[in-house]
Chains A and B, each alone.
Chain A
Amino acid sequence: MTKVDYEYIGARIRGMKSRLLERKELEALGAKMDINSFVDELENTPYRQDLEDASVKYIGLACVEDALRRNLSKTFRLILSFVKGEDAETLINIFLNKWDIQNIKTILRGKNIQEVPEEIAESLAPAGALSDATLTEMIKQPDVKAVIDLLATWGIEYSRPLTQHFKEFSETRDLVVLEYALDKFYYNHALDAVAGDSYDEGIIRGIVRTEIDVTNIKNVLRIIRDKVELEDPQYYFISGGKELNVDKLSALSKARTMDGVTKQLAGTSYAFLAQLPDQYITAEKISPFEKELDKFLLQKALSLFSGDPLSLALVIGYLWAKLNEITNIRIIAMCKSEYVPEKEVMEELVFV
């Protein structure tokens, strides 16, 4: 690996972290009556410039969404500018590619149900390495096949797993086929990129492997909720998880109930799922489980702030913290535009 100027990167990231919104600032945003007073309050934060730029084209919720997208993309560009030309750039791109996968999935879902392009564009995450122009062009395509063909024509690597599994998809019309293929491609690709022994590769590998566990547990929960019969566990689960291998996961999905899953997870880092209120477990409602798992992953990522200061740990920790902030602001903005009560808004936010 080439020499990375960690002292400079670390100082900048710490400075940027100090400007992240604190809990009380998010609470003040959540306490606003409507979207307009929310925007007024948001103008007192570092998002002011982005809101001003976005307000030229949009108003209300669309303005907030655009401002957040601008802010996040500006932040990513800024961070990549510190590490430009370094191997560290490759490692940060692993994180960004996760959002590309999510955006491609969103577009494919939209195209599969013939959603209007504007609706799809609004559902995209404001992050990732794919440019806005690429995403816009993908949204313009008439169907799933055309989106995959476009990716292949432009030589974007995600077209490979999609093309390989397209025949299967066209037979079943089940989009899960393409989604699993994308997930597997991304995680295998990410693990290959961080196979080395360096500290930086180690921390990113740790996060990616935890993410694989979390994704697999979510899949187990969905399998149980939808009562899916497992023929080939390899097909549903991604290998390479930190604590749960494919055999353990297929044993988990044979538990048949949420209660059975939480009991089998005792002794792993995911034992906290058993602490959830009984009504969620008996009702087989998976969203509270997913939220707890996401929170766990976020805590893991944010713990990197106390990692080696002369490594990429700070950058990765900051990227997660920033994305969580953006997600929280987005949730508040959406709730405010629908006049959701403050208490319910606060319950939706993730603080760690």
Chain B
Amino acid sequence: MLDWSIAIGAGIAFGLGALGTGIAQARIGAAGAGVIAEKPELFGLALVFVALPETLVILGFVVAAIILFVLPTM
């Protein structure tokens, strides 16, 4: 029998992480576009900065995985 509280918890953990990443990437992406327009040679660096907030959603994913798969076995 599926425990809805676990599924909702995992969803919140992943969803909020993704939302945070989205907000951060929107702003960094806009700034990155500005940087590339002025100095195309900084494309690589701008890409790294745009990708950095991905860590948030990865952490959210890990926490969601723990909630879904580890928590029920404890």
Contact = CB atoms under 8 A, between A and B. Distances in A.
Genuine A/B complex: yes
Nearest to B28: A7
Given A7-B34, A14-B38, 7 more contacts: A7-B27, A8-B31, A11-B31, A11-B32, A12-B35, A12-B37, A15-B37
A5 interface: yes
A16 interface: yes
Nearest to B46: A11
A12 B39 CA distance: 9
A9 interface: yes
A10 interface: yes
Contacts of A11: 30-35, 38
Taking chain B's interface residues, is the majority helix, strand, or loop, or is none over half, making it mixed? helix
B38 A7 contact: no
Nearest to B33: A8
A321 to B, nearest CB: 15
9 tightest A-B CB contacts, nearest first: A15-B38, A11-B34, A7-B30, A7-B31, A12-B34, A11-B31, A8-B30, A8-B34, A11-B35
A311 to B, nearest CB: 14
A129 B33 CA distance: 28
B7 to A, nearest CB: 36
Taking chain A's interface residues, is the majority helix, strand, or loop, or is none over half, making it mixed? helix
Interface in A1-54: 5, 7-12, 14-16, 18
A10 B38 contact: no
22 contacts: A7-B27, A7-B28, A7-B30, A7-B34, A8-B30, A8-B33, A8-B34, A9-B34, A10-B34, A11-B30, A11-B31, A11-B33, A11-B38, A12-B35, A12-B37, A12-B38, A14-B38, A15-B35, A15-B38, A15-B39, A18-B38, A18-B39
A15 B40 CA distance: 11
Contact of A10 (B31, B37, B39): B31
A9 B33 CA distance: 10
A18 B42 CA distance: 14
B26 to A, nearest CB: 8
Contacts of A8: 30-31, 33-34
Contacts of B39: 15, 18
A133 B35 CA distance: 34
Contacts of A15: 34-35, 37-39
A16 B27 contact: no
A8 B37 CA distance: 10
Interface string B12-47: 000000000000000110111111011100000000
A16 B38 contact: yes
Contacts of B30: 5, 7-8, 11
B45 to A, nearest CB: 12
Contacts of A16: 38
Contacts of A18: 38-39
Contacts of B37: 12, 15
Nearest to A310: B27
Q: Which of A11, A14, A15 has the most CB of B within 10 A?
A: A11
B53 to A, nearest CB: 13
Contacts of A12: 34-35, 37-38
B32 to A, nearest CB: 7
Nearest to A11: B34
Contacts of B33: 8, 11
B18 to A, nearest CB: 20
A10 B33 CA distance: 11
Contacts of A14: 38
Interface in A114-172: none
A5 B39 CA distance: 19
